[in-house]
Amino acid sequence: MGSGGLVVLDERDCMVDIARFFLKFTQAESCGKCTFCRIGTKRMLEILERLCAGEGRRDDLEKLATLADYVSRGSLCGLGQTAPNPVLTTLRYFREEYQAHLEGRCPAGRCPALIRYRVNTNCIGCTLCAQACPVGAIAYRPYEKHEVDERLCTRCDMCRQACQDDAVEVVSP
């Protein structure tokens, strides 16, 4: 495949976060010679970061598309010319996910600022989640239904991975 690559994603991957991830990489790799790549990718990254943080603005999607077009056409080399591709593709095929982020939701449950962890009624009180939580956001209560303290939770996902009873859910309002 030469220098190409293949990435497999499913419905648990957030397309806005994926676009942010790829743009962050190309933005860091920009040599800075031309303005569109150096500054255009930075402005695009800022928009994606605020969307993932739930601070998107109404005209952000239009701005993203316009900037992507400028950066593709105005950059001197392949890096800048292709940097906006993940944004353009996700905007074209997953626009509803961008729209959800504008409304403060992350449908894939990946953007920490837009999700909450909750223990459901499957909980048998085994305490595995409390033992796994690195910040003490789940009190240790053997044989009782456990609860997540949202004020302490850092959305690290350790409790969900530790639970063997599908009792820890990720919800996005």
Residues interacting with ligand SF4, by CB under 6 A? 30-34, 37-38, 75-77, 79-80, 117, 119, 123-129, 132-133, 135, 137-138, 146, 148, 153-159, 162-163, 165, 167-168
Residue linked to tokens 């820890």? 168
3-class secondary-structure state, position 169: strand
Report in angstroms how near the CB of residue 108 gets to ligand SF4 at its nearest.
16
Backbone φ and ψ of 110, nearest 5°: -110, -25
Residue 102 or 116: the one with the smaller Cβ distance to ligand SF4 is: 116
Q: How far apart are CA 57 and CA 103, in angstroms?
A: 10
Taking CB atoms, the residue at the shortest distance from ligand SF4 is 80
Query: What is the H or E stretch that residue 62 is in?
Result: helix 60-74
Residue 35 or 99: the one with the smaller Cβ distance to ligand SF4 is: 35
Report in angstroms how near the CB of residue 96 gets to ligand SF4 at its nearest.
26
